[in-house]
Chains A and B, each alone.
Chain A
Amino acid sequence: MDVELQVVGAQLRAIAEEMGAVLVRSAFSANIKERRDCSTALFDGAGRMVTQAEHIPVHLGAMPDAVAAVASHEPGPDEVWVLNDPYRGGTHLPDITMVSRTELGYAVSRAHHADVGGLEPGSLPAGSRTLAEEGVVIPPTRLDEETLAGLVGRMRQPDERRGDLRAQLAAQLLARRRLGELCARRGRERVAAAMTELLAHAERVVRAGLARIPDGRYEATDWLEAPDGPLEIRATVEIAGDEAHIDFSGTAPAHGGNLNCPLAVTRSACYFVVRCLTEPDLPASGGAFAPVTVTAPEGCLVNARPPAAVAAGNVETSSRIVDVLFAALAGLPGVPAQGQGTMNNVVLGNDRFVYYETIAGGQGACPDAAGPSAVHVAMTNTLSTPVEALELQYPLRVERYGVRQGSGGAGRHRGGDGVVRELRVLEACRLSVVAQRRALAPRGAGGGGDGAPGRTLVNGVALPAAASADLRPGDLVRIETPGGGGYGPPSR
Chain B
Amino acid sequence: MATLGVDVGGTFTDAVLVAAGEVRTAKVATASSQDGSVLAAARAVGAFEAEIERFTHGTTVATNALLERRGARTAFVATAGFEHLLHLRRQTRAHLYRPCAPHPDPLVPLERCFGVRGRMGPGGELEPVDPESVPRLEEAEAVAVCLLHAYRDPSHERVVAAELRRRYPAAHVVASHEVAPELREYERASTTAADAYLGPVLGAYLRRLGAACAGAGLREPLVMRSSGGVVTLDEAASHATWALLSGPAAGAVGAAVVARRAGFRHAIALDMGGTSTDVCAVADGEARREAERLVGGLPIRLPTLAIHTVGAGGGSLVRRDAGGALLVGPESAGALPGPACYGRGGTLPTVTDANLLLGRLPETLAGGLELDVDAAKRALAGFDPAHVIDVVDAELLRALRVVSVEQGLDPREHALVAFGGAGPLHACALAEELEMPAVLVPAAAGVLSALGLAASEERRDAVTTYVVPLREAGELPADGVADLRYAGQSFELAVPLGPGLADRFHAAHEARYGYADASREIELVAVRTALVAPGPRIELQGPSLSARGPELVQLAGATCWVPPGWSGETDRDGTLVLRRTG
The residue from B99, B517, B520 contacting A336, defined by CB atoms under 8 A apart? B99
B461 → chain A, closest Cβ, in Å? 22
B191 → chain A, closest Cβ, in Å? 14
Does chain B have a CB within 8 A of A388?
Answer: yes
Judge whether B82 and A419 touch: CB under 8 Å.
Answer: no
Does chain A have a CB within 8 A of B474?
Answer: no
The residue from B91, B99, B148, B391 contacting A359, defined by CB atoms under 8 A apart? B91
Judge whether B100 and A402 touch: CB under 8 Å.
Answer: no
Judge whether A33 and B490 touch: CB under 8 Å.
Answer: yes
Does chain A have a CB within 8 A of B165?
Answer: no
Judge whether B514 and A370 touch: CB under 8 Å.
Answer: no
Q: Contact string, A255-294, partner B, CB cutoff 8 A, digits 1/0?
A: 0000000000000000010011001111000000000000
Does chain B have a CB within 8 A of A138?
Answer: no
Does chain A have a CB within 8 A of B406?
Answer: yes
- Report chain B residues within 8 Å CB of A381: 92-93, 96
Q: In the complex, what distance in Å separates the CA atom of A437 from the CA atom of B185?
A: 30
- Report chain B residues within 8 Å CB of A170: 513-515
Judge whether A6 and B91 touch: CB under 8 Å.
Answer: no
Segment at the B interface, from A148-156, A159-167, A296-304: A159-167
**Of residues B81, B87, B186, B393, which shows the largest number of chain A Cβ atoms within 10 Å of its Cβ?**
B81
- Report chain A residues within 8 Å CB of B122: 388, 391-392
Judge whether A279 and B322 touch: CB under 8 Å.
Answer: yes
- Report chain A residues within 8 Å CB of B149: 388, 391
Q: In the complex, what distance in Å separates the CA atom of A225 from the CA atom of B322?
A: 41
Interface size bucket, B side? 35 or more
The residue from A28, A57, A209 contacting B488, defined by CB atoms under 8 A apart? A28
Q: Which B residues from 80 to 100 make CB contacts under 8 A with A?
A: 81-85, 87-100
Judge whether B89 and A25 touch: CB under 8 Å.
Answer: no
- Report chain A residues within 8 Å CB of B512: 22, 25-26
Judge whether B100 and A366 touch: CB under 8 Å.
Answer: yes
Segment at the A interface, from B275-283, B323-331, B443-451, B548-556: B323-331
- Report chain B residues within 8 Å CB of A204: 322-324
Q: In the complex, what distance in Å separates the CA atom of A45 from the CA atom of B149?
A: 50
Judge whether A387 and B401 touch: CB under 8 Å.
Answer: no
Q: Contact string, A375-393, partner B, CB cutoff 8 A, digits 1/0?
A: 1111001111011110111
Q: Contact string, B209-228, partner A, CB cutoff 8 A, digits 1/0?
A: 00000000000000000000
The residue from B100, B101, B325, B488 contacting A201, defined by CB atoms under 8 A apart? B325
Judge whether A401 and B84 touch: CB under 8 Å.
Answer: yes
The residue from A336, A382, A386, A392 contacting B100, defined by CB atoms under 8 A apart? A336
Judge whether A30 and B490 touch: CB under 8 Å.
Answer: yes
Q: Contact string, B486-497, partner A, CB cutoff 8 A, digits 1/0?
A: 101111000000
A207 → chain B, closest Cβ, in Å? 9
B398 → chain A, closest Cβ, in Å? 5
Q: In the complex, what distance in Å separates the CA atom of A181 from the CA atom of B100?
A: 40
Q: In the complex, what distance in Å separates the CA atom of A336 from the CA atom of B97?
A: 12
Q: Contact string, A334-360, partner B, CB cutoff 8 A, digits 1/0?
A: 001001000000000000000000011
**A26-B489, A388-B151 known; A399-B81 Cβ under 8 A:** yes
Q: In the complex, what distance in Å separates the CA atom of A376 from the CA atom of B91?
A: 6
B387 → chain A, closest Cβ, in Å? 4
Q: Contact string, A314-341, partner B, CB cutoff 8 A, digits 1/0?
A: 0000000000000000000000100100
Q: Contact string, A95-107, partner B, CB cutoff 8 A, digits 1/0?
A: 0000000000000
Residue of chain B at shortest CB distance from A32? B490
B175 → chain A, closest Cβ, in Å? 16
Q: Contact string, A1-39, partner B, CB cutoff 8 A, digits 1/0?
A: 101101100110010001001101111111001100000
Judge whether A389 and B184 touch: CB under 8 Å.
Answer: yes
Q: In the complex, what distance in Å separates the CA atom of A201 from the CA atom of B323?
A: 5
Judge whether B88 and A372 touch: CB under 8 Å.
Answer: no
Q: Contact string, A357-371, partner B, CB cutoff 8 A, digits 1/0?
A: 001100111101111
B507 → chain A, closest Cβ, in Å? 15
- Report chain B residues within 8 Å CB of A27: 489-490
- Report chain B residues within 8 Å CB of A22: 512-514
Q: Which B residues from 465 to 503 make CB contacts under 8 A with A?
A: 467, 486, 488-491
Judge whether A54 and B92 touch: CB under 8 Å.
Answer: no
Interface size bucket, A side? 35 or more
- Report chain A residues within 8 Å CB of B89: 374
Judge whether B99 and A276 touch: CB under 8 Å.
Answer: yes
- Report chain A residues within 8 Å CB of B489: 25-28, 33, 163
B440 → chain A, closest Cβ, in Å? 24
A189 → chain B, closest Cβ, in Å? 19
Does chain B have a CB within 8 A of A205?
Answer: yes
Judge whether B81 and A400 touch: CB under 8 Å.
Answer: yes
Judge whether B99 and A397 touch: CB under 8 Å.
Answer: no
Q: In the complex, what distance in Å separates the CA atom of A400 from the CA atom of B405?
A: 42
- Report chain B residues within 8 Å CB of A279: 321-322
Judge whether A383 and B84 touch: CB under 8 Å.
Answer: no
Judge whether B184 and A388 touch: CB under 8 Å.
Answer: yes
Q: In the complex, what distance in Å separates the CA atom of A22 from the CA atom of B491?
A: 10
Residue of chain B at shortest CB distance from A401? B82
Judge whether A205 and B87 touch: CB under 8 Å.
Answer: no
Judge whether B100 and A370 touch: CB under 8 Å.
Answer: yes
Judge whether A201 and B324 touch: CB under 8 Å.
Answer: yes
- Report chain B residues within 8 Å CB of A25: 489, 491, 512-513
Q: In the complex, what distance in Å separates the CA atom of A381 from the CA atom of B98?
A: 12
**Of residues B82, B84, B110, B148, which shows the largest number of chain A Cβ atoms within 10 Å of its Cβ?**
B84
A224 → chain B, closest Cβ, in Å? 21
- Report chain A residues within 8 Å CB of B110: 403, 405
Q: In the complex, what distance in Å separates the CA atom of A160 from the CA atom of B90?
A: 24
Judge whether A33 and B326 touch: CB under 8 Å.
Answer: no
Q: In the complex, what distance in Å separates the CA atom of A343 from the CA atom of B91?
A: 12
- Report chain A residues within 8 Å CB of B325: 1, 6, 201
- Report chain B residues within 8 Å CB of A254: none
**A1-B326, A3-B391, A174-B514 known; A384-B99 Cβ under 8 A:** no
Does chain A have a CB within 8 A of B121?
Answer: yes
**A27-B489, A170-B515, A201-B325 known; A369-B102 Cβ under 8 A:** yes
Residue of chain B at shortest CB distance from A5? B325
Q: In the complex, what distance in Å separates the CA atom of A437 from the CA atom of B258?
A: 61
Q: In the complex, what distance in Å separates the CA atom of A401 from the CA atom of B490?
A: 21
Does chain A have a CB within 8 A of B394?
Answer: yes
A288 → chain B, closest Cβ, in Å? 10
**A205-B321, A377-B99, A392-B122 known; A402-B514 Cβ under 8 A:** no
Does chain B have a CB within 8 A of A193?
Answer: no
A256 → chain B, closest Cβ, in Å? 33
Q: Which A residues from 441 to 459 make CB contacts under 8 A with B?
A: none
**Of residues A22, A28, A279, A393, which shows the largest number of chain B Cβ atoms within 10 Å of its Cβ?**
A28
The residue from B100, B121, B126, B509 contacting A363, defined by CB atoms under 8 A apart? B100
Residue of chain B at shortest CB distance from A212? B322
- Report chain A residues within 8 Å CB of B395: 10
- Report chain A residues within 8 Å CB of B324: 1, 201, 204
Judge whether B92 and A382 touch: CB under 8 Å.
Answer: yes
Judge whether A401 and B100 touch: CB under 8 Å.
Answer: no
7 contacts between A and B (CB under 8 A): A4-B390, A6-B325, A7-B391, A339-B99, A369-B102, A374-B91, A402-B84
A-B pairs, top 4 by smallest CB distance, nearest first, are A280-B97, A205-B323, A33-B490, A360-B91
Interface residues of B (CB under 8 A from A): 81-85, 87-103, 110, 121-122, 126, 148-149, 151, 183-187, 321-326, 384, 387, 390-391, 393-395, 397-398, 401, 405-406, 467, 486, 488-491, 509, 512-515, 517, 520
Given contacts A33-B489, A384-B186, A386-B186, 8 further A-B contacts (CB under 8 A): A1-B324, A6-B325, A28-B489, A202-B323, A372-B103, A377-B99, A383-B90, A401-B84
